[in-house]
Amino acid sequence: MTNNIAGKVVIITGASSGIGEATAKLLASKGAKVVLGARRIDRLDAMVDEITKAGGEAACQVMDVTKTADNEAIVMLAKEKFGKVDAIFLNAGLMPASPVSALKTDEWDEMVDVNIKGVLNGVAAVMPSFTEQKSGHVIATSSVAGLKAYPGNGVYCGTKWFVRSFMEVLRMESATEGTNIRTATIYPAAINTELLDTISDEATAEAYHGLYKTYGISPDRIASIVEFALSLPEDTTVNEFTIGPANQPW
């Protein structure tokens, strides 16, 4: 397949570790200009330095996806630094799993804010540019929990089902409106990232750590899917990717 990635300007949220970090480094190695957003500026600065030393191009800024202004600011950074935005990878997410009966309502709110509002804020920030240029690619990380229900993950599942539905509507509306905005929703299973670190319910955390220790695979596997999606010709969309360990019966 032709390398359609070289020269593309790609914004990545949740970029400081895991899937976001792996994707940033892979895309930069393929010639993309990556614009990285996350809460940990030290990690972002280190990544930009590493990418630049390897001959790539990157920029970064501190970002809280729940804040509208931060989403707008990273789009402005991309334009000021590289002149345009071709794609955004909405990857920031939280999974503080627990039974509904545990009533960890603060964690419910956090998941809604990051997993749902974070996606909405990112799309809202980039949509005017994509609409004006009549092109753009929105890629979002959902989860296999966005495809089926898992006990202990009621609220998380709900947020990831939202991403699934919203992204499909965005794809259909863009096709109808003639804006040529493509979408790709990714549904990872057990991928070894920092996602489990947010689980405060002890029994749930123990179960998930055991699951991921048994099955978990590298976030590089997801990065390769983002690379594939961005490599497709402009007239082609693959709108959904479900990916996980070959030996995990998710």
Residue of 150, 156, 212, 215 with catalytic role: 156
Query: Residue 48: is its pLDDT beyond 60?
Result: yes
Report how far residue 63's alpha carbon sits from residue 138's, in angstroms, rounded to the nearest whole number: 18
What letter would DSSP give residue 17?
S
Residue type (1 letter), 27: L
Report how far residue 2's alpha carbon sits from residue 171's, in angstroms, rounded to the nearest whole number: 24
DSSP letter string over 55-66? T-EEEEEE--TT
Q: Where are the domains of the chain?
A: 9-242
pLDDT at residue 14 in the model? 95
Query: Residue 247: is its pLDDT beyond 60?
Result: yes
208 is catalytic: no
**In terms of CATH, what superfamily is 9-242?**
NAD(P)-binding Rossmann-like Domain (3.40.50.720)
What confidence tens digit (pLDDT) does each residue in 121-149 have? 999 999 999 999 999 999 999 999 999 99
Query: Residue 1: is its pLDDT beyond 70?
Result: no
pTM for the model stands at 0.95
User: Residue 52: which pLDDT band, with cuts at 50, 70 and 90?
Assistant: very high
